[in-house]
């Protein structure tokens, strides 16, 4: 067997071994437990994410912030400094004797500097829109 055939044979053995391990893993109860855990984590991350969409039109700069639907009653903080917009959610959930706190934040770089004192906000379902007038462009 020459060197190239030996390498191919070695790769084939590795592939067979990896396939055997995967078959063992996927057939075991551990696979179901891991998938369940991964689904819980994914669902929590999806339910607790903040997305931002920046629009610039003739009226000014607008940032649409999608707040998680699970956010019911808490504090929202928005801060604009030069070209940065910082958004934070804080919420306390109480159930009987226990409490849990949720805190989410996100900072985005804006296309040009803005002044916080000219900021206007509007709310539509779970989307908060932060707007800055057109005269803010440099």
pLDDT in tens, the chain (138 residues): 555 555 555 556 667 877 776 666 666 666 677 666 666 655 554 555 678 899 999 889 999 998 877 777 788 899 999 889 999 888 887 777 887 777 888 888 999 999 999 999 999 888 999 999 986 444
Q: What secondary structure letter does DSSP report for 5?
A: H
pLDDT at 92: 80
Same domain flag for 36 and 15 = yes
Same domain flag for 42 and 64 = no
Q: Which residues neighbour 47 within 8 Å (Cβ) at sequence distance 6 or greater?
A: 68, 69, 70
Q: What secondary structure letter does DSSP report for 10?
A: H
* Residue keyed to tokens 């639907």: 69
pTM for this predicted structure: 0.59
Cβ atoms of 67 and 50 within 8 Å: the answer is yes
How many domains does the chain fold into? Answer: 2
- C-alpha closest to that of 121 among 84, 72, 74, 80: 80
Same domain flag for 114 and 128 = yes
Range of the domain at 55: 50-136
Same domain flag for 79 and 21 = no
Same domain flag for 58 and 125 = yes
Kindly list the strands in the beta sheet with 51-57, ordered across the sheet, starting from the edge strand earlier in the chain.
51-57, 60-66, 127-133, 120-124
């Amino acid at each position: 067997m020459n060197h190239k055939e030996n390498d191919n044979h070695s790769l084939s053995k590795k592939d067979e071994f990896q396939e055997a391990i995967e078959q063992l893993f996927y057939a075991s109860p551990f696979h179901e437990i891991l998938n369940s855990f991964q689904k819980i984590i994914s669902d929590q991350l999806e339910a607790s994410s903040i997305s931002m969409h920046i629009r610039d039109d003739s009226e000014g700069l607008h940032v649409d912030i999608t707040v998680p639907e699970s956010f019911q009653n808490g504090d929202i903080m928005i801060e604009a400094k030069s070209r940065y917009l910082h958004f934070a959610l804080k919420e306390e959930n109480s159930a009987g004797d226990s409490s849990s706190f949720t805190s989410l934040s996100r900072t985005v770089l804006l296309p040009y500097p803005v002044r916080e004192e000219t900021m206007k906000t509007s709310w539509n379902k779970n989307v908060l829109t932060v707007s800055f007038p057109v005269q803010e462009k440099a």
